[in-house]
Chains A and B, each alone.
Chain A
Amino acid sequence: MSDAAPGPVVPAPGGAPDPTTTSGAPALAISGLRKAFGQKVAVDDLHLTVPTGSFYGLVGPNGAGKTTTLSMATGLLRPDAGTITVLGTDVWRDTVKAKSLVGVLSDGVALFDRLTGEQLVTYHGLLNGMDRETVAQRTGDLLDLLDLRAAGGTLVVDYSAGMTKKIALACALVHAPRLLVLDEPFESVDPVSAANIRDILAGYVRGGGTVIVSSHSMDLVQRMCDHVAVVASGRVLAAGTTDEVRAGSTLEDRFVELVGGRQHNEGPSWLHTS
């Protein structure tokens, strides 16, 4: 983990601890979660506990149910069964309060991309009920932090894929959430920006926040996250600290071992040109 803190200050997560959230409650606790789309069971009796202050990686093959799980954890998708609490607050009972604690970067969801970057972040801030001065200040900070200041006046629809991810991250951060839920935040982000984002997230965790990240990049998760859960077919196959889960080998090898499906051949013969 890089400990070179970046220049601008990351919005401090959470502010004063809320007396009504049970102290010591995990940042995210999921139990018995289930969701089916018609015949297809996407999430099947999933249990997961994300300790407060952890940098949690969620890895799994395509279609493992990562996005579905994270959507349900952030109040975007109604589960069929199970309970989800964020810092002791039930997401589907006390929805508004739970949502105020969480910052979300969703994968496969459009942004209001006819706004400029600055307008979009401002919009998210105002939707969270923040006042104009705070929103303006934080929007500025976040644009600087993510190196988007110059693009602040450009419509988001004209952004590159990586810039779009970064502005979405700024939207997720603007209300200083206690828990940050990021679905594929590094997809199509260039290496330099990815490193910057990693630094920002590491700083956020050091400041007391909790981050949960889904990713396909085992390497990245192994270096970045202190906790990891391997998900496949809607279930958690292994969870714990990164060292526990990888059990001496690399996370990638351990992942392949757990999930299976690796093919040991070199493809059909016609593919070999020489």
Chain B
Amino acid sequence: MVAHLLRLRFRLLFNGFRRSTWQLVGAIIGALYGLGLLAGIVVAMVGLSFADAEWGRAVAVLAGALLVLGWLVVPLLLRGFDQSLSVAKLRSFPIPPRRLLVALLVVGLLGVPGLVTLLASLSTTLSWIGEPVAMLAAPFAALLGALTCVTASRALESVGASLASGRRYREVMGVVVFVPVLLLGPLIAVVGGSVASIVDDLPSIAETVSWTPLGAVWSIPGDLALGDGGAALAKTGIALATLGVLLLLWRRALAVSLVAAPPSSGGSSRAKGLGAFGLFPATPTGAVAARTAVYWLRDPRYGGSLVALPVLVVLGVFLSVTGSDWFLVALGPLFGAVLGITLCAEISYDGTAFAAHLSTGLDGVADRAGRVLTLALFSVPVVVLATVVPLVVLGRGADVPAILGIALGLLLTGFGVSSVASTRFLMPVPAAGESPFKTPPGSTFKSQLGMYVAWAIVFALSAPEIALGVAAVITGELWLGLAALGLGIVLGGVLCVVGVRRGGAMLDRRGPELLASLRRTQGA
């Protein structure tokens, strides 16, 4: 039974590779990344064995607690990042919950993240090379810890799954939950900046964490090494109790979800009237624009592509508080570059629904222009604000024309480039209704490559206004700035129109081929 599910798991994985070479490339890169990480951890652990036992324990506890936390949080974000063995699919088979639980636990532990966790946990043994008692206990604690990670993740997931079966709820949560995580980067930067001051407090922080369910299990060998047998025993109790409670919780949720009705589509959302379709002109271009507008509001994948923007703002403010303004000065152009390129994924987001454009004989130019129109309607004001507000706050109002020229140039050029690019290559995107942050396995590499190429082209084509704008900022000459602004708008505008035309012609020519590859990706 357990072996059977395990075999199924790997069979699914390998069949996925057979479908797409890119998926295999992605998986290999992922595996190499994991191995590199592991090698680093092993080296660090060997290094730790020469340090004070106090430090070995602190590092193990804090890193372990973070690991458990990661196992809890990541699956919530990448909802369904490994749905190949979801309970919903196994529901129809007569498997008792207890055996299913054991099987899922083993499968989880022997997946790539599970194996990396297990090996990393086991490597803590190395940090106790000088302490025989701790070294004996460490592998058992490590196994217990890895089990706790997988169980916690699975338990939370199945409890969450039974709570969140409504579509809207899932979609909103998918975006909302992700924002604090993206802010984690700047947060770590803040903490990192002051890490020197808290470094002395780490052992005492670890001491506190080691008494919580998150850290208890990781502290056992350390306590033994420090000769505190009582604490080690108590923490073993905490760790076992944690695992027990989690297993119980998981079992309960599993039993419920095994008999529950398949998740329905959830509460129906209603809208009155035609919405955006009443506001945009009643032409094919207007219709595409209106449809895109509805999707920007309703499809979380569209909004999800914009989460980078608040992060940029936070990063800019943070950097300027710590003393360097350049990031905040460049905020507008950065916004322009990010927003201009978002069109790249639009046809991929459509999926096979794109057939509607094809079967109605829609002019390719109208398709391109409609999408650009909606994006421009909100991105131009946003870019202008992102340029003007920081510069005014920083008291550099004189630089506004130059920076605005660069920003608008990048934005408009981006429209043109992505109008062509999205007809040339399809981005692997999560299918409609899936979490906007679900990355189709193995896709990241290819899509990132495509994005970077598109960006490189955008920057190359906007080189004139960038050069002029930078010159204006350096020399402080107002006329240079105004020239950059004019050039950015005119050159960007021309490139945008050219891009829409060429993309449209390409769409007319390659429409059926595009639909065929959309069908293939949908089948994946």
Chain A interfacial positions (CB closer than 8 Å to B): 74-78, 95-100, 102, 104, 106, 108-116, 118-119, 122-124, 126-129, 131-132, 135, 153-155, 157-158, 171, 175
Q: How far is the CA of A111 from the CA of B353 in the complex (A)?
A: 5
Please state if A124 and B282 are interface contacts (CB–CB under 8 Å): no
**B356 touching A112, Cβ below 8 Å:** yes
Q: Which residues of A contact B519 (CB under 8 A)?
A: 108-109
Nearest-neighbor residue (CB-CB) of A174 within chain B: B360
Contact status of A95 and B361, CB under 8 A, knowing A78-B513, A126-B277, A155-B268: yes
The reply to whether B275 and A154 form a contact with Cβ atoms under 8 Å apart is: no
CB distance from A178 to the nearest CB of B (A): 14
Q: CA A100 – CA B359 in complex, angstroms? A: 9
In the complex, residue of chain A having the shortest beta-carbon distance to the beta carbon of B302: A114
* Closest 6 A/B residue pairs (Cβ): A99-B361, A126-B287, A132-B282, A158-B268, A127-B360, A110-B353
Known: A123-B287, A126-B284, A155-B268. A76 touches B433 (CB 8 A): no
Residues of B in contact with A, size category = 35 or more
Binding site secondary structure of chain A: mixed
Counting CB contacts under 8 A, is B269 at the interface? yes
Query: A75–B433 contact, CB under 8 A?
Result: no
- Where the two chains meet, the residues of B that have a C-beta atom closer than 8 Å to any C-beta of A are 167, 265-266, 268-275, 277, 282-284, 286-288, 290-291, 294-295, 298-299, 350-353, 355-363, 432-433, 512-513, 515-516, 519, 522
- The CA-CA distance from A75 to B358 in the complex, in Å, is 7
Return chain A residues, CB-CB under 8 Å to B282.
126, 131-132, 135
User: Which chain B positions have C-beta within 8 A of A123?
Assistant: 277, 287, 290-291, 356
User: Which of B269, B287, B294 lies in contact with A127, CB distance below 8 A?
Assistant: B287
Q: Which residue of the partner chain, among A95, A126, A155, A171, contacts B269 with CB atoms under 8 Å?
A: A155
Q: Which residues of B contact A109 (CB under 8 A)?
A: 352-353, 355, 519
Whole-angstrom distance between the Cβ of B404 and the nearest chain A Cβ: 34
Give chain A residues whose Cβ lies under 8 Å from the Cβ of B272.
153
- When the two chains form their complex, are residues B361 and A115 in contact, meaning their CB atoms are under 8 A apart? no
Given the complex of chains A and B, what is the CA–CA distance between A128 and B288 in angstroms?
11
Cβ contacts under 8 Å, A124 to chain B: 356, 360
State A124–B299 Cα separation when bound (angstroms): 19
Q: Would A119 and B265 be within 8 Å (CB), given that A99-B360, A112-B350 are in contact?
A: no
In the complex, are the beta carbons of B287 and A76 less than 8 A apart? no
A77 in contact with B269 given A106-B355, A126-B277 (CB within 8 Å):
no
Instruction: Name the A residues within 8 Å of B167 (CB-CB).
Output: 157-158
Residues of chain A contacted by B433 (CB below 8 angstroms) = 157
Q: Give, as a whole number of angstroms, the nearest-CB distance from B304 to chain A.
A: 14
Question: Which chain A residues lie closer than 8 Å to B299 at the CB level?
Answer: 114
A153 touches B270 (CB 8 A): yes
Cβ of A100 and Cβ of B512 under 8 Å apart? no
Which residues on A sit within 8 Å (CB–CB) of B266?
A: 158
Most A CB within 10 A of own CB, among B167, B361, B519:
B361
Q: Which of A76, A114, A131, A171 contacts B512 (CB 8 A)?
A: A76
- Distance A132 CA – B284 CA, assembled complex (angstroms): 11
Could you tell me if B291 and A115 are in contact, using CB atoms closer than 8 angstroms? yes
Are A119 and B361 touching (Cβ within 8 A)? no
A143–B77 alpha-carbon span in the complex (Å): 39
